Amino acid sequence: MSLTLRQLEVVRAVCRHGSVTAAASALNVSQPAISMMLRECTRIAGFPLFLRRQGRLQPTAEMRGLLAELDRVFEGVERVGRLVQDMRDTGIGSVQIAATPTLADHLVPPAVAAFQLARPRIQVAIRTMDNLSVVETVMQERVDFGLVLTPLGHPDARLVTLCTGALVCVVPAAHPLAGRETVHVRDLAPFPLISFSRSLPLGDLVEGAFREAGVPRRIGIEVNQSSLACALVRAGAGVAVVDPFMLMDTERRDVVALKLLPATAVSAQALIPRTATLARPAALLLATIRRTALVAERAIAF
């Protein structure tokens, strides 16, 4: 016998709230009903689900191992509910997206602002995470679509290119290189380099630019986000090679962005499961992001 969805909901509620009383209140059912269902769940599972410690119910090690999967199950249930609502009334609904921080900071805000003006009754949820986590979240269909930087993809996903620019070098405003329009990677050798690990897609791109120029890349400070790299440059910790989307920020305080040679292209892309059909609210938001990206492409061009 398997646990029913209702039983799983009760188990998850007890995990979240730590007591039968709080779980009963959250689910709007009686405390005895929750207690009886917990006993039945333990019987079906064949192992203890909770231990009582200091007056609270704490999940056992086995139960903790199930929590992440339970969260995915109920995120899917909530998503189905939203899709049903969207199909019932195309004027309302919700969209969930995952985005790498650079795009979440610079491309998403103007697009979502324009989208909300036109469709105020559609709720937008934005999750910020690294590129690889965006791919994983999209492929698990925990969001409608993702926004990533190249080079990145998945055989079971389709990519929609939104806009393309080139890697840029960011230096402090008072830096010896700041007066230039362009800088070659070999010119960066005398200065501490703030850069990304090769295990990250952006780090692989930067590594390729140095390799093409025949210059070894010696990382002084390793980071995993362009925003942190720029903050370190602003603080005077070194120079950085980052994606161009930070150029959409008109308030580049105390830093200068220079065209980097050899030129290395990087694109913002939407990632969608190959077999998925976007619900209407998600398709409308993606269309708005694409229009915003066309404007952004001009902003990030030198």
Kindly list the domain boundaries of the chain, sorted by start residue. 5-76, 91-161+268-299, 168-263
Domain 5-76: top CATH class: mainly alpha
Same fold? 5-76, 91-161+268-299? no
From the number of C-beta atoms within 10 Å of its C-beta (0-12, 13-18, 19+), residue 24 rates as buried
Architecture of domain 91-161+268-299: 3-Layer(aba) Sandwich (3.40)
Q: Which residues contact 135 (CB under 8 A, 6 or more apart)?
A: 146, 148, 152, 153, 154, 157, 271
Q: How many CB atoms lie within 10 A of CB 301?
A: 13
Chain center to CA of 204: 19
Nearest to 45 by CA among 53, 34, 37, 33: 37
Residue 228: exposure state from Cβ atoms within 10 A (0-12, 13-18, ≥19): middle
d(CA 267, CA 163): 6
CA 108, 113, 117 angle in degrees (round to 5)?
A: 145
Q: Is the pTM of this model over 0.85?
A: no
- Per CATH, the number for 168-263 is 3.40.190.10
Q: What is the pLDDT along the chain (302 residues), one digit of tens a residue?
A: 678 888 888 888 888 888 888 888 888 888 888 888 888 888 888 888 888 887 788 888 888 888 888 888 888 777 777 666 665 555 568 899 999 998 999 999 999 999 999 889 899 999 999 888 999 999 988 999 999 988 666 777 888 999 999 999 999 999 999 999 999 999 999 999 999 988 888 898 999 999 999 999 999 999 988 889 999 999 999 999 999 987 776 556 688 999 999 999 999 999 998 877 888 899 999 999 999 998 888 877 76
Q: Contact 229/152 with Cβ under 8 angstroms?
A: no
- CB proximity list for 48: less than 8 A, separation 6 or greater: 42, 60, 62
